[in-house]
Amino acid sequence: MAMRTIGELVREGTARLATSGSDTPRLDAELLLADAIGADRTAVIAHPEAPVGVDGSARFREHLERRAAGEPVAYLRGLKEFHGLAFAVDRRALIPRPETELIVDMARAELVERLTGSARPAGTPPVVVADVGTGCGAIAVALAVALRRLGMLGEVEIVASDISPEAVDLARENAVAHAVADRVGVVAADLLPPAGLAVPPLRMRAEVDVVVANLPYVRSGDLAGLPPPVSFEPAAALDGGPDGLAQVRRLVDLLPGRLAVGGVALLEIGAGQGEAIAEMAAERLPGWSCSVSRDLGGLPRIGRLERAGAGRQ
Ligand code: GLN
């Protein structure tokens, strides 16, 4: 077969994916071709006339067929951009979603406030963050990188946990890849790691100042109706039980025993769960405050639960 150009392969790939149910056939084809030839998407768009070698074409066609069969682009590339960083992703964990970037921004704001709002004499213990159900480590690692840019990571310890040992391995790989493994300890645990568990290289107090979590929150009955690519992701990362909030509720019940006075939990929820999280907080966390933040699409996305305490209103 004659050698094809980048432009021809993108056109062919786009046509193939347009008939197989992708909402973004051209984008998918560009990303898969870029990956197949070891270039980035910008180069693919800029050089339609460039020839593509046999190996690149073969890899592109193989991935195109897998994409046509529903496999997510992120798993085929082994990569997903999140909060301006490239994360290694594969079937060990959920692919990070753009709406989850909000939790990183909110957590960063909480930490900046804690680190700049009052004096921190030498010897003040680090602020402790727990990312519960970390998956590929996206929230913990993106938060660590954001804090490092602000020069604040040295005063923060982040413990990232996941019940899946495979996800723990992946999150550790991402912490190492982004050079924050000295401040992000990853550990296998059902929700919060037990108080007192050593999480090297962290010192870790038993109390946590800021909890962040994107736990599974899809109602079990809704799982089958999700788009086909989602079926490639671990069901345990999505299945939130009959009302979607089983895992969130379990975590909420742990908070009084583990969250420091004045501490905050930022919990990602589904668009229809804003009222449910507020009710849950009112019922299970008397005296705490609860607010719900919306994502860029205007949908309820993060429940913010604050344990009222000394000096913080
Ligand atoms: N937003 C995800 C989805 O709809 C759900 C993620 C989750 O359950 N935490 O696929």
Q: Which residues contact 221 (CB under 8 A, 6 or more apart)?
A: 242
Residue of 71, 54, 186, 62 lying closest to 133 (CA atoms) = 186
Residue 50 alpha carbon to ligand 1 centre in Å: 39
Asked whether 102 lines ligand 1 (CB < 6 A), one says no
The answer to whether residue 311 scores a pLDDT higher than 60 is: no
Q: Tell how far CA 97 is from the center of its chain.
A: 6
pLDDT given at position 174? 98
Tokens linked to 218: 């899809």
* Interatomic CA distance for residues 69 and 229, integer angstroms: 9
pLDDT given at position 196? 84
Q: Which domains does the chain have, with CATH numbers?
A: 4-69 (1.10.8.10), 91-306 (3.40.50.150)
Residue of 256, 268, 154 lying closest to 215 (CA atoms) = 268
For the stretch 3-61, pLDDT in tens is: 899 999 999 999 999 998 789 999 999 999 999 999 999 999 999 999 999 999 999 99
Residue of 13, 54, 52, 55 lying closest to 32 (CA atoms) = 13
Ligand 1: residue of 89, 132, 218 to mutate (most ligand atoms within 8 A of CB) is 218
For the stretch 63-92, pLDDT in tens is: 999 999 999 999 999 999 999 999 999 999
Q: Which residues contact 189 (CB under 8 A, 6 or more apart)?
A: 161, 162, 163, 197
Residue 87 alpha carbon to ligand 1 centre in Å: 17
Residue 132 alpha carbon to ligand 1 centre in Å: 15
3-state secondary structure (DSSP) of residue 60 = helix
Residue 254 is which amino acid?
L
pLDDT given at position 310? 61
Longest dimension (CA), the chain: 74
* Interatomic CA distance for residues 25 and 261, integer angstroms: 49
For the beta carbon of residue 301, count every other beta carbon within 10 angstroms.
Answer: 24
Asked whether 214 lines ligand 1 (CB < 6 A), one says yes
* Interatomic CA distance for residues 31 and 272, integer angstroms: 32
Residue 4 alpha carbon to ligand 1 centre in Å: 39
pLDDT given at position 313? 39
Residue 306 alpha carbon to ligand 1 centre in Å: 24
Tokens linked to 210: 């800021």
Tokens linked to 44: 């693919």
* Interatomic CA distance for residues 152 and 144, integer angstroms: 9
CB 85, CB 148: distance < 8 Å? no
pLDDT band at 118 (very low <50, low <70, confident <90, very high): confident
pLDDT given at position 1? 60
* Interatomic CA distance for residues 122 and 124, integer angstroms: 6
